[in-house]
Amino acid sequence: MNQTAVKDARAFAEDLGEFVKSSPSSFHTVETVRTHLKNNGYVDLCEASAWTDIAPGGRYVVCRDGSIVAFALPVDASGTTPLRVFGAHTDSPALKLKPKSSITSHGFNQVGVEVYGGALFNSFLDRDLKLAGRLVLKSGEELLVETGPYLRVPQLAVHLDRGVNRDGLKLDPQKHLQPITGLGENGEHDVLADLAQIAGVNAEDIAGYDIVTVDAQAPQLIGSRKEFLASARLDNLLSTFAGMRAMAEHECAADGPIALFVANDHEEVGSASRSGAAGPFLEDVLARLYAALGASDEERRRAFSRSIVVSSDVGHSIHPNYVERHDPANHPVAGKGPILKINADQRYATDAHGAAFWARACALARVEYQEFVSNNAMPCGSTIGPITATRLGMTTVDVGVPILSMHSCRELTAVSDPYDLYRAACAVFSPEISANI
Ligand SMILES: [Zn+2]
């Protein structure tokens, strides 16, 4: 990389850190993305209103809970104009507040939590955490709320767990992951009262909540030459940020595709929800969008058949301490560019046409990419790609950025990869490459 590129990549990584700071929960993320897109000419669409104002040349954003869709229409968009979709997800593994969450035990105030997604339990120990998410009042009004450093799950001292370094750490998610929030006697503390005070409402008015824990430490550049960004929620705010920036800067060309960005909630728990990728959100938006363009059912299906979904999520960089866990021939390395994800069992949706499209996008962006495939003895996770492909029938390719510490409370990416992913995302929307499927 030349010096300008290094500077651009570092500035982009620092912006990503700021994005993570302003997006501690999926609901905050939607608000951050929506605000950024609106500042770049996108107009809100409300699901409950008629979408009579949609017109070619317009840019729109739609939110549903912790998910968001934005699209930009070329001036000559018609019922057969295909889509270029860049997809990501807004949620991350976390501890999530239970009902009756204020507990007192032996002089300590604690909060009851359940585990959200495939969290690495140990990474939540001895880390200063905050709470973030949404409150819903009896009136139905929804408020975002975020505490400062508020809680911690203290690890048992080595003297009281003599075998831990030899035998490994064993954590019971019910007994051992309950965070402490303070000192006090029975009935004195009420986490909802604290959240209500921050939100400026009465605790008695809170009728529902979706609140998760998140690392209270700000993201920061680390390493001997600041090669890394250490941060909470890189999975998958990294892709969400890259897609949002590409979408904000995208200018539709006449005769070009419709650019669409989707970031779904609930990926970490299987995507099956009204806002998750297995739910109808994107399909609902597309049905209404094509109806507004005057498309018949047949025309919309013709458009879909020439559309492409690029589903972006983090992947595994080779770990220098565990090289044997990776495929012997495919060693993606953090800092060497985004990845194309391949899996025979369709845990990733990539097929030969999707791979060829990604190759064209990266070539246009002048981005080197790497290939990821699992060691056969280590089945990989999945992402929104195969689910979206199954729902919409569009050619889909799974891509991402190779990181370390995936599903840790604080993950690690090379500084250069998010910027390269963003450049490739810009190319995904470009009419200069053909979908050619
Ligand atoms: Zn992910």
> What's the token pair of residue 190?
């009420």
User: Cα of 11 to ligand 1 centre, how many Å?
Assistant: 23
Q: What is the dihedral of CA 260, 264, 268, 269, to 10 degrees?
A: -130
User: Cα of 97 to ligand 1 centre, how many Å?
Assistant: 21
User: Cα of 321 to ligand 1 centre, how many Å?
Assistant: 23
Which residues are in the CB-under-5-Å shell of ion ligand 1?
235-236, 313
CB of 403 closer than 8 Å to CB of 334: yes
pLDDT at residue number 49: 96
Q: State which fold the 94-215 domain adopts.
A: Aminopeptidase i, Domain 2 (2.30.250)
Average pLDDT of the chain, as a whole number: 95
Averaged over 69-76, what is the pLDDT?
Answer: 97
* Cβ contacts of 322 within 8 Å, gap of 6 or more: none
User: Cα of 383 to ligand 1 centre, how many Å?
Assistant: 6
Q: How confident is the model at residue 437 (pLDDT cuts 50, 70, 90)?
A: low
User: Cα of 92 to ligand 1 centre, how many Å?
Assistant: 7
Residue 145 has pLDDT above 80, yes or no: yes
User: Cα of 233 to ligand 1 centre, how many Å?
Assistant: 9
User: Cα of 268 to ligand 1 centre, how many Å?
Assistant: 7
User: Cα of 90 to ligand 1 centre, how many Å?
Assistant: 9
DSSP result, 230-296: EETTHHHHHHHHHHHHHHHH--PPTT-PEEEEEEES-GGGTS-SSSSTTSSHHHHHHHHHHHHTT--
pLDDT at residue number 419: 98
Number of residues written out for the chain: 437
How many CA atoms are closer than 13 Å to the CA of 369, on its beta-carbon side? 30
Domain 3-92+232-428: give its CATH code.
Answer: 3.40.630.10
User: Cα of 399 to ligand 1 centre, how many Å?
Assistant: 11
User: Cα of 315 to ligand 1 centre, how many Å?
Assistant: 8
Residue 137, by phi and psi: left (phi above 0), alpha (psi -120 to 50) or beta?
beta
User: Cα of 136 to ligand 1 centre, how many Å?
Assistant: 27
Q: How confident is the model at residue 378 (pLDDT cuts 50, 70, 90)?
A: confident
Secondary element (H or E) of residue 421? helix 416-428
- CA dihedral (245, 248, 254, 258) positive or negative: positive
The span from the CA of 258 to the CA of 25, in Å, is 29
Q: Which of 155, 150, 143 is nearest to 217 (CA)?
A: 150
CB of 313 closer than 8 Å to CB of 406: no
Averaged over 15-33, what is the pLDDT?
Answer: 98
User: Cα of 255 to ligand 1 centre, how many Å?
Assistant: 33
What's the predicted TM-score (pTM) here?
0.97
DSSP result, 298-347: HHHHHHHHT-EEEEE--EEPPPTT-GGGB-SS----TTS--EEE--TTSS
User: Cα of 236 to ligand 1 centre, how many Å?
Assistant: 5
User: Cα of 412 to ligand 1 centre, how many Å?
Assistant: 14
Averaged over 24-47, what is the pLDDT?
Answer: 98
Which residue intervals of the chain bear CATH 2.30.250.10?
A: 94-215
Q: Which of 241, 238, 222, 219 is nearest to 403 (CA)?
A: 238
User: Cα of 293 to ligand 1 centre, how many Å?
Assistant: 33
User: Cα of 265 to ligand 1 centre, how many Å?
Assistant: 10
User: Cα of 384 to ligand 1 centre, how many Å?
Assistant: 8
Averaged over 216-222, what is the pLDDT?
Answer: 98
User: Cα of 342 to ligand 1 centre, how many Å?
Assistant: 15
Residue 434 has pLDDT above 90, yes or no: no
CB of 118 closer than 8 Å to CB of 268: yes
Which residue intervals of the chain bear CATH 3.40.630.10?
A: 3-92+232-428
User: Cα of 138 to ligand 1 centre, how many Å?
Assistant: 33
> What's the token pair of residue 41?
């000419």
Q: What is the pLDDT of residues 313-359, one digit of tens each?
A: 999 999 999 999 999 999 999 999 999 999 998 999 999 999 999 99
Q: What is the pLDDT of residues 97-138, one digit of tens each?
A: 999 889 899 999 999 999 999 999 999 999 999 999 999 999
User: Cα of 185 to ligand 1 centre, how many Å?
Assistant: 40
User: Cα of 267 to ligand 1 centre, how many Å?
Assistant: 7
Strand pairing report for 180-183 and 67-72: unpaired
User: Cα of 237 to ligand 1 centre, how many Å?
Assistant: 9
Q: How many CB atoms lie within 10 A of CB 243?
A: 29
User: Cα of 137 to ligand 1 centre, how many Å?
Assistant: 31
pLDDT at residue number 380: 82
Strand pairing report for 411-414 and 228-231: antiparallel
Q: How many CB atoms lie within 10 A of CB 358?
A: 24
CB of 213 closer than 8 Å to CB of 113: yes
- Secondary structure E strands in 65-107: 67-72, 83-89, 94-105
Residue 188 has pLDDT above 90, yes or no: no
Give the position of tokens 């968001």.
68
